[in-house]
């Protein structure tokens, strides 16, 4: 051994150090980009250059979405408030907005308190809502997933949020009976549902103005006539602009049959109650949206059959493929 000298020992140490470093890093080209296959009828999805959607990143985000280690007390996970079979809402948790097609959102929560893309929204979830302690995430299984997703075992709240954003971008609902009808399958909806669709897209119903495009939301804020006293509520509580008082974000109607109770305060338990409100329950306030029909008369004043038809149409927006997609459910153990 002595014949090899101290130089050999130094060389061996350097080699071992390099091997250890390589074990901590993974080449970026090992990450597999995913084609999200956004439907052509949807708006363009913008994916930030610093967070491309990869198979490894989505797998990590999915794990974190269902993992209670995200919570410092281990008491809850994202999925506890967002149940897949309920359109990623939870009827037992107040004011939950569905986690569906959020890749097109730039305002989050009912009052738009958080602005930006999915990365910013998920950082809020990780750092503010959960207050995640990254030390709880430093376990071998997650370290391997962070290595695969980001090329390093280093775990940060930013990387956790970016992985969650990647997973959220895969949560695209676009295969309801309505979609099949619009795409050419005339048998996908029945006569009552077609009548309801005509009301939805008519100037009499006015539903389509706010629940716009194939996303069924304009991602904006409206006062729809729920309350007479609106000072300091809704978007106004964020902007402190009286013109924003009583305005709340338009929720998507996709899977609306499964996402009740309804409105920002869960005041309506059923779709029938929602339609009854729009038909005869509107009340005036200074910031009520000009799109709301016949406010002085309480609303659309629909006949009983028309109300039933409109509810029937809303149920055609249920996407069973999305609600039962195993790739969006809990990771396999």
Q: What's the N-to-C CA distance of the chain in angstroms?
A: 49
Q: Which parts of the chain are beta strand (E)?
A: 107-108, 114-115, 221-222, 248-249
Last residue of a domain, one of 153, 173, 193: 173
**pLDDT tens track for 104-130:** 999 999 999 999 999 999 999 999 999
Give me the domain span that covers residue 144.
7-173
- Same domain? For 186 and 114 the reply is no
- Same domain? For 164 and 203 the reply is no
pLDDT beyond 90 at 266: yes
Last residue of a domain, one of 148, 173, 198: 173
Mean predicted confidence (pLDDT) in 24-43:
81
- Same domain? For 38 and 166 the reply is yes
pLDDT beyond 80 at 5: no
Please state which of the ranges 24-33, 185-194, 281-290 shows the lowest mean pLDDT: 24-33
Instruction: Give me the residue label for tokens 């150090």.
Output: 17
- Same domain? For 119 and 107 the reply is yes
pLDDT at 8: 44
CA dihedral 196, 199, 202, 206 (to 10 degrees): -110
Confidence category of residue 13, pLDDT binned at 50, 70, 90: very low
CATH of the domain at 40: 1.10.760.10
CA 4 to centroid of chain Cα atoms? 63
Half-sphere exposure of 238 (CA within 13 A, CB side): 17
- Same domain? For 147 and 35 the reply is yes
Q: Are 142 and 152 in contact (CB under 8 A)?
A: no
- Same domain? For 114 and 132 the reply is yes
Please state which of the ranges 7-16, 19-28, 248-257 shows the lowest mean pLDDT: 7-16
Confidence category of residue 37, pLDDT binned at 50, 70, 90: confident
Handedness of CA 128, 239, 262, 181 (dihedral sign): negative
Q: 157-169 vs 55-65: helix axis angle to the nearest 10? A: 100
Residue 246 lies in a domain: yes
Residue 333 lies in a domain: no
- Same domain? For 157 and 34 the reply is yes
- Same domain? For 231 and 252 the reply is yes
Residue 46 lies in a domain: yes
pLDDT at 23: 46
Residue 139 lies in a domain: yes
Last residue of a domain, one of 141, 173, 205: 173
pLDDT beyond 50 at 14: no
Structure tokens at 255: 């899977």
Residue 1 lies in a domain: no
| Dist CA 157 CA 99 (whole Å) | 20
Mean predicted confidence (pLDDT) in 18-23:
44
- Same domain? For 113 and 18 the reply is yes
- Same domain? For 70 and 160 the reply is yes
CA 299 to centroid of chain Cα atoms? 30
Instruction: Specify the number of domains making up the chain.
Output: 2
Find the length of the chain: 333
Residue 227 lies in a domain: yes
- Same domain? For 196 and 164 the reply is no
**pLDDT tens track for 208-222:** 999 999 999 999 999
């Amino acid at each position: 051994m002595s014949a090899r000298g101290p130089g050999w020992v130094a060389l061996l140490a350097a080699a071992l150090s390099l091997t250890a470093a390589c074990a901590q890093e993974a080449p970026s080209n090992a990450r597999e980009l995913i084609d999200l296959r956004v439907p052509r009828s949807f708006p363009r999805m913008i994916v930030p250059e610093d967070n491309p959607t990869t198979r490894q990143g989505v797998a990590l985000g999915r794990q974190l979405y269902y993992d209670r280690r995200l919570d410092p007390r281990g008491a809850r996970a994202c999925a506890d408030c967002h149940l897949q079979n309920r359109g990623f809402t939870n009827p037992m948790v107040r004011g939950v907005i569905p986690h569906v097609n959020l890749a097109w959102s730039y305002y989050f929560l009912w009052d738009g308190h958080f602005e930006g893309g999915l990365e910013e929204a998920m950082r809020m979830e990780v750092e503010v809502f959960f207050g995640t302690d990254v030390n709880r995430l430093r376990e071998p299984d997650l370290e391997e997933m962070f290595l695969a997703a980001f090329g390093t075992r280093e775990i940060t709240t930013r990387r956790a949020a970016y992985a969650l954003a990647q997973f959220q971008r895969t949560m695209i609902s676009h295969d309801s009976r309505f979609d099949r009808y619009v795409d050419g399958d005339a048998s996908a909806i029945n006569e009552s549902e077609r009548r309801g669709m005509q009301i939805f897209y008519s100037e009499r119903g006015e539903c389509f103005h706010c629940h716009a495009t194939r996303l069924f939301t304009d991602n904006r804020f409206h006062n729809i006539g729920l309350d007479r006293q609106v000072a300091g509520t809704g978007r106004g509580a964020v902007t402190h602009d009286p013109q924003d008082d009583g305005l709340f974000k338009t929720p998507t109607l996709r899977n609306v049959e499964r996402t009740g109770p309804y409105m920002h305060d869960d005041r309506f338990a059923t779709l029938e109650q929602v339609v009854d409100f729009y038909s005869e329950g509107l009340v005036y306030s200074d910031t009520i949206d000009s799109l709301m029909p016949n406010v002085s008369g309480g609303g659309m004043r629909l006949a009983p059959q028309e109300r039933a038809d409109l509810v029937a149409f809303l149920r055609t927006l249920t996407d069973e493929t999305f609600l039962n997609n195993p790739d969006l459910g809990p990771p396999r153990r």
